[in-house]
Structure 1
Amino acid sequence: MKTTPQNVADFIREGLPCEHIHVEGDGRHFEAVIVSSQFEGKGMLQQHKLVYQVLGNRMERIHALSMKTMTPAQWANQQ
Protein backbone atom coordinates (compact mmCIF):
# COMPACT_ATOMS: atom_id res chain seq x y z
CA MET A 1 0.00 0.00 0.00
CA LYS A 2 1.44 3.33 -1.09
CA THR A 3 1.62 6.05 1.54
CA THR A 4 -0.05 9.26 0.40
CA PRO A 5 0.37 12.83 1.63
CA GLN A 6 -3.12 12.53 3.15
CA ASN A 7 -2.00 9.41 5.07
CA VAL A 8 0.98 11.28 6.50
CA ALA A 9 -1.21 14.24 7.51
CA ASP A 10 -3.70 11.88 9.16
CA PHE A 11 -0.92 10.03 11.02
CA ILE A 12 0.35 13.33 12.42
CA ARG A 13 -3.14 14.57 13.34
CA GLU A 14 -3.81 11.34 15.27
CA GLY A 15 -1.17 12.21 17.84
CA LEU A 16 -0.71 15.96 17.57
CA PRO A 17 -3.42 18.63 17.62
CA CYS A 18 -2.75 20.79 14.55
CA GLU A 19 -4.13 24.21 13.76
CA HIS A 20 -2.89 23.71 10.20
CA ILE A 21 -1.16 20.91 8.33
CA HIS A 22 -0.24 20.56 4.69
CA VAL A 23 1.69 17.60 3.28
CA GLU A 24 2.93 17.04 -0.26
CA GLY A 25 4.87 14.09 -1.58
CA ASP A 26 5.34 11.26 -4.03
CA GLY A 27 4.75 8.23 -1.81
CA ARG A 28 8.30 8.07 -0.43
CA HIS A 29 9.49 11.68 -0.02
CA PHE A 30 7.25 14.14 1.78
CA GLU A 31 7.28 17.81 2.73
CA ALA A 32 5.06 19.01 5.55
CA VAL A 33 4.06 22.33 7.06
CA ILE A 34 2.77 21.70 10.58
CA VAL A 35 1.29 24.32 12.89
CA SER A 36 0.57 23.26 16.46
CA SER A 37 0.27 24.93 19.85
CA GLN A 38 2.21 21.91 21.16
CA PHE A 39 5.32 23.53 19.68
CA GLU A 40 5.10 26.53 22.03
CA GLY A 41 8.33 26.96 24.00
CA LYS A 42 10.17 24.27 22.04
CA GLY A 43 13.08 24.73 19.66
CA MET A 44 12.96 23.43 16.11
CA LEU A 45 14.78 20.21 16.98
CA GLN A 46 12.35 19.48 19.84
CA GLN A 47 9.40 20.21 17.53
CA HIS A 48 10.69 17.81 14.89
CA LYS A 49 11.36 15.13 17.51
CA LEU A 50 7.77 15.50 18.68
CA VAL A 51 6.48 14.87 15.14
CA TYR A 52 8.78 11.84 14.73
CA GLN A 53 7.53 10.46 18.08
CA VAL A 54 3.94 10.85 16.89
CA LEU A 55 4.75 9.02 13.65
CA GLY A 56 6.62 6.27 15.49
CA ASN A 57 7.01 3.06 13.47
CA ARG A 58 5.03 4.60 10.59
CA MET A 59 8.31 6.26 9.61
CA GLU A 60 9.23 2.86 8.15
CA ARG A 61 6.68 3.61 5.40
CA ILE A 62 8.12 7.09 4.78
CA HIS A 63 11.54 7.30 3.15
CA ALA A 64 12.08 11.01 3.85
CA LEU A 65 10.12 13.72 5.63
CA SER A 66 11.11 17.35 5.39
CA MET A 67 9.09 19.55 7.69
CA LYS A 68 8.56 23.14 8.63
CA THR A 69 7.07 23.40 12.10
CA MET A 70 5.53 26.54 13.57
CA THR A 71 3.48 27.76 16.48
CA PRO A 72 0.12 29.40 15.68
CA ALA A 73 1.67 32.84 16.32
CA GLN A 74 4.53 32.15 13.91
CA TRP A 75 2.03 30.91 11.31
CA ALA A 76 -0.12 34.03 11.72
CA ASN A 77 2.94 36.24 11.19
CA GLN A 78 3.69 34.49 7.88
CA GLN A 79 0.17 34.87 6.52
Structure 2
Amino acid sequence: MNNMQQHLTEQLQTALSPSHLEVINESHNHSGPASESHFKLIVVSDYFNDLKLIERHRFINQLFKEEMNHIHALAMHTYTPDEWQMKNSAPDSPKCAGASKS
Protein backbone atom coordinates (compact mmCIF):
# COMPACT_ATOMS: atom_id res chain seq x y z
CA MET A 1 0.00 0.00 0.00
CA ASN A 2 1.40 3.41 -0.91
CA ASN A 3 1.57 6.40 1.40
CA MET A 4 -1.47 8.32 0.10
CA GLN A 5 -3.58 5.16 -0.09
CA GLN A 6 -2.67 4.29 3.49
CA HIS A 7 -3.32 7.85 4.64
CA LEU A 8 -6.78 7.92 3.02
CA THR A 9 -7.60 4.54 4.56
CA GLU A 10 -6.58 5.62 8.05
CA GLN A 11 -8.49 8.91 7.84
CA LEU A 12 -11.68 7.20 6.66
CA GLN A 13 -11.43 4.54 9.35
CA THR A 14 -11.01 7.19 12.03
CA ALA A 15 -13.76 9.51 10.76
CA LEU A 16 -16.41 6.98 9.76
CA SER A 17 -15.74 3.62 11.45
CA PRO A 18 -16.83 1.88 8.25
CA SER A 19 -18.16 -1.66 8.19
CA HIS A 20 -16.62 -2.00 4.71
CA LEU A 21 -13.84 0.10 3.23
CA GLU A 22 -11.84 -0.12 0.03
CA VAL A 23 -9.34 2.52 -1.02
CA ILE A 24 -8.13 1.59 -4.47
CA ASN A 25 -5.23 3.32 -6.19
CA GLU A 26 -6.24 3.49 -9.86
CA SER A 27 -3.36 5.74 -10.93
CA HIS A 28 -1.81 2.99 -13.05
CA ASN A 29 -4.90 3.12 -15.31
CA HIS A 30 -4.23 6.73 -16.23
CA SER A 31 -1.66 8.62 -18.25
CA GLY A 32 1.03 10.71 -16.68
CA PRO A 33 3.83 10.10 -14.21
CA ALA A 34 1.85 10.46 -10.95
CA SER A 35 1.56 7.17 -9.07
CA GLU A 36 -0.78 8.48 -6.35
CA SER A 37 -3.21 10.67 -8.25
CA HIS A 38 -6.37 8.62 -8.92
CA PHE A 39 -8.30 6.83 -6.18
CA LYS A 40 -11.59 5.01 -5.84
CA LEU A 41 -13.28 4.87 -2.45
CA ILE A 42 -15.93 2.38 -1.44
CA VAL A 43 -17.17 3.32 2.01
CA VAL A 44 -19.99 1.67 3.95
CA SER A 45 -20.84 3.40 7.20
CA ASP A 46 -23.74 3.94 9.59
CA TYR A 47 -22.68 7.59 9.57
CA PHE A 48 -24.33 7.88 6.14
CA ASN A 49 -27.77 6.69 7.34
CA ASP A 50 -29.33 10.15 7.49
CA LEU A 51 -27.24 11.84 4.81
CA LYS A 52 -28.10 12.43 1.18
CA LEU A 53 -25.51 11.35 -1.37
CA ILE A 54 -24.29 14.92 -1.92
CA GLU A 55 -23.84 15.36 1.85
CA ARG A 56 -21.78 12.17 2.03
CA HIS A 57 -19.52 13.38 -0.77
CA ARG A 58 -19.21 16.83 0.78
CA PHE A 59 -18.16 15.22 4.06
CA ILE A 60 -15.39 13.25 2.33
CA ASN A 61 -14.31 16.25 0.27
CA GLN A 62 -14.01 18.27 3.47
CA LEU A 63 -12.15 15.44 5.19
CA PHE A 64 -9.60 15.40 2.35
CA LYS A 65 -9.55 19.13 1.65
CA GLU A 66 -5.75 19.38 1.74
CA GLU A 67 -5.14 16.01 0.09
CA MET A 68 -7.18 17.12 -2.92
CA ASN A 69 -4.31 19.45 -3.83
CA HIS A 70 -2.36 16.27 -4.71
CA ILE A 71 -5.14 14.01 -5.98
CA HIS A 72 -6.35 14.43 -9.54
CA ALA A 73 -9.42 12.18 -9.29
CA LEU A 74 -11.36 10.73 -6.37
CA ALA A 75 -14.28 8.44 -7.18
CA MET A 76 -16.55 8.13 -4.15
CA HIS A 77 -19.01 5.31 -3.67
CA THR A 78 -20.69 5.85 -0.31
CA TYR A 79 -23.31 3.51 1.10
CA THR A 80 -25.29 2.83 4.22
CA PRO A 81 -25.08 -0.78 5.43
CA ASP A 82 -28.58 -1.45 4.03
CA GLU A 83 -27.67 0.00 0.62
CA TRP A 84 -24.47 -2.05 0.56
CA GLN A 85 -26.35 -5.23 1.46
CA MET A 86 -28.61 -4.70 -1.58
CA LYS A 87 -25.76 -3.77 -3.99
CA ASN A 88 -22.74 -5.54 -2.52
CA SER A 89 -20.52 -3.89 -5.13
CA ALA A 90 -19.59 -0.54 -6.62
CA PRO A 91 -19.54 0.30 -10.31
CA ASP A 92 -16.32 -0.04 -12.27
CA SER A 93 -14.43 3.16 -12.88
CA PRO A 94 -14.60 4.51 -16.43
CA LYS A 95 -11.58 4.20 -18.65
CA CYS A 96 -9.36 7.24 -18.72
CA ALA A 97 -9.77 9.10 -22.00
CA GLY A 98 -6.14 10.18 -21.91
CA ALA A 99 -4.67 6.88 -20.77
CA SER A 100 -1.76 5.56 -22.75
CA LYS A 101 -2.35 2.05 -21.39
CA SER A 102 -5.27 -0.19 -22.20
Same fold (TM > 0.5): yes
TM-score bracket relative to the smaller structure: 0.7 to 0.9
The one of 46, 51, 65 aligned to 1:42: 51
The one of 27, 51, 60 aligned to 1:51: 60
Q: CA RMSD in A?
A: 1.7
Post-superposition offset of 1:10: 1.5
Q: Distance in 2 between matches of 1:58 and 1:39?
A: 22
Aligned to 2:16: 16
Sequence identity, in percent? 27
Question: Higher mean Cα deviation, 5-14 or 60-69?
Answer: 5-14
Distance change (3 Å), C-alpha of 1:48 and 1:70: same
Contiguous gaps of at least 5 residues in structure 1: none
Q: Kindly indicate whether the alpha-carbon contact (under 8 Å) linking 1:12 and 1:55 is maintained by their aligned counterparts in 2.
A: no
Find the structure with the greater CA-based Rg.
Answer: 2
Q: Provide the TM-score with structure 2 as the length reference.
A: 0.66
The answer to which structure has the higher strand fraction is 1
Counterpart secondary structure, 1:56: coil
Post-superposition offset of 1:53: 1.9
Aligned residues: 78
After superposition, the C-alpha distances for 1:18-73 in whole angstroms (9 at most, x for unaligned) are: 11110111210111111111111211100101111222322223221011100011
Contiguous gaps of at least 5 residues in structure 2: 28-35, 89-102
The answer to which structure has the higher helix fraction is 1
